[in-house]
């Protein structure tokens, strides 16, 4: 288990790296179609040699602090893929068993015909992850896919919340808690 001091240090360092590497200022169109004055490119974090491990530690501490117990972690491909893997590795480092999974945008029409790939989520407690969320659409698609595969979604967690209504929408539509490691205010964004 990560000690509180270790978790605090990991969180502080991850925040530094997000500010340094992931916040891009300028007009952008988000996946939701909305326009913003900045972009938070968390793939620069989740695929970074140092930050990836910190992501796993911070997200594991976040869910532990919230009392969320889960056996599987993942979400909609592609934003959630490295987040789920980071959580899985951090859990293993802490002596825990957490499997990662990937939710396809649509069910395959060939092979096994699965929408949720990886170890089965059926009958298991599942944490749905995302790097960041604007409208909540990706997380909601992942929740739907996990439920169809027989998983029991216990929470949705993101690295950065943009404070654009995703939390309220996800909690209202899923009935599970929405957690986030960092708010946009911590990144110096308004």
Residue set of the binding site for orotate: 134, 162
Distance of CA 24 to the CA centre of its chain: 20
| Binding residue positions | 104-105, 108, 130-138, 162
DSSP β-ladder status, 99-103 and 116-117: antiparallel
Binding site for 5-phospho-alpha-D-ribose 1-diphosphate, by residue number, is 104-105, 108, 130-138
Which pairing describes strands 35-40 and 23-29: parallel, antiparallel, or unpaired?
A: antiparallel
């Amino acid at each position: 288990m990560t000690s509180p001091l270790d978790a605090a240090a990991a969180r502080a360092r991850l925040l530094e790296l997000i500010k340094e590497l992931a916040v891009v200022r300028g007009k952008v169109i988000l996946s939701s179609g909305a326009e913003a004055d900045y972009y938070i490119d968390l793939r620069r974090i989740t695929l970074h040699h140092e930050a990836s491990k910190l992501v796993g530690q911070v997200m594991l501490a976040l869910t532990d602090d919230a009392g969320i117990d889960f056996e599987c972690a993942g979400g909609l491909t592609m934003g959630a893929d490295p987040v789920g893997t980071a959580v899985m590795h951090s859990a293993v480092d802490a002596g825990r068993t957490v499997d990662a999974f990937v939710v396809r945008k649509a069910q395959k029409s060939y092979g096994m015909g699965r929408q949720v790939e990886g170890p089965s989520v059926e009958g298991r407690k599942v944490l749905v992850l995302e790097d960041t969320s604007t409208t909540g659409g990706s997380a909601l698609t992942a929740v739907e896919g996990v439920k169809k595969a027989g998983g029991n979604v216990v929470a949705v967690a993101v690295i950065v919340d943009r404070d654009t209504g995703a939390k309220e929408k996800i909690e209202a539509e899923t009935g599970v808690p929405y957690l986030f490691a960092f708010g946009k205010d911590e990144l110096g964004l308004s």
